[in-house]
Homo-oligomer: A and B are copies of this chain.
Amino acid sequence: MAVTIRDVARQAQVSVSTVSRALSAPGLVKEATRQRVLDVVAGLGYQPNRAARSLITGRTGNLGIVVPDLENPFFPSVLRGVQTRAGEAGTSVFFCDSREDPETEAELVRTMAPQVDGVVLCASLLTDDQITDLADLTPLVLINRIVPGVSSVLMDSALGMDLVIAHLESLGHKDYVYLGGPAAAWSNNRRLQGLAGRAQLLGSFEPNFTGGYAAAEQALKTNATAFIAYNDLMALGVLSYLAEHGVQVPQQISVTGFDDILYAAMCSPALTTIAMPTEEAGKVAVDLLASRLDGGPAEVRELPTKLVIRASTRKHPMSA
């Protein structure tokens, strides 16, 4: 068996409680004693048994995160932020992929709940009520979603949409169409708000390559000169469809995305898009969770987005 707190106590000539305190409430033991204990701890390589500690404190030292699609690079990036910040606090991260399915998402949270101190929900597809219910099970922090009484980290999509439209208009575009994402996605609705009726909405598509591919087909039937995709993955699908059908980007059609995933810079033409502070969002989410666990209030934190202009947008062909 591994080394226990008793082994440390014996060797440091103190009681187990002193060892416990030296480790988790340093202020409560004499400095000299603490040092002696710490030395023994280091010497023996003692690591407190988490299960035992958890049994008493009710805290697990773990946190969970659920994302809708790990294969969308947007989410790994958030995950990195979460891992980084959690790691600093000695917290471990349980991860799950809901595969864009609300049922699965809720189920995953319920499964995780008993073994974590809280869950980060990314781009949740659940209803407000479902989220509120889950929040009773375990502290929740939402990323890109707002529900009353629950902490959130937002990457401003409405502003992002504003930037996109301002950019397109400065290029002389008058007709643009928004290729929508999942109707249940908060980000989609925020983008719609940012749109403020200035562009027509074209349906609701899967937020991935395939969805974009399908959307492009429909978009071509409009007389729009610019396609605004819900996210970069969709935009890549759009580019692919257009290339295959001999439509030149950006000469004939301008295309934009959201997220600024790695591939946005790598595809051809490189994508004009809205950059999101994903990794930062992950970190902030962990902070909000921590503050919540310390009895703090639910908080909403908004992070700025910015426009990244690349090669997929150009002056409107008919304009001056």
* Contact flag A95-B97 (CB < 8 Å), given A114-B50, A266-B237: no
Counting contact residues on chain A (CB < 8 A from B), the size range is 35 or more
* Contact flag A236-B97 (CB < 8 Å), given A76-B71, A92-B115, A112-B92: no
A80 at interface, CB cutoff 8 A: yes
Secondary structure at chain A's binding surface: helix, strand, loop or mixed?
helix
A112 to B209: give the CA distance in the assembly, Å.
35
A83 at interface, CB cutoff 8 A: yes
Within 8 A of B (CB), among A26-84: 47, 49-52, 54-55, 60, 62, 70-71, 73, 76-77, 79-80, 83
| CB pair B83 A77 closer than 8 Å | no
* Contact flag A243-B266 (CB < 8 Å), given A50-B114, A55-B51, A114-B2: no
A126 at interface, CB cutoff 8 A: no
What is the interface of chain A, defined by CB distance below 8 A to chain B?
A: 2, 47, 49-52, 54-55, 60, 62, 70-71, 73, 76-77, 79-80, 83, 92-97, 111-112, 114-115, 209, 236-237, 239-240, 243, 262-263, 266-268
> Shortest 10 CB-CB distances between A and B: which pairs?
A70-B76, A51-B54, A95-B95, A51-B51, A51-B55, A71-B76, A92-B94, A268-B268, A236-B266, A52-B55
List 5 interface pairs A-B (beta carbons < 8 Å), by A numbering. Answer: A52-B55, A55-B55, A70-B79, A71-B76, A263-B266
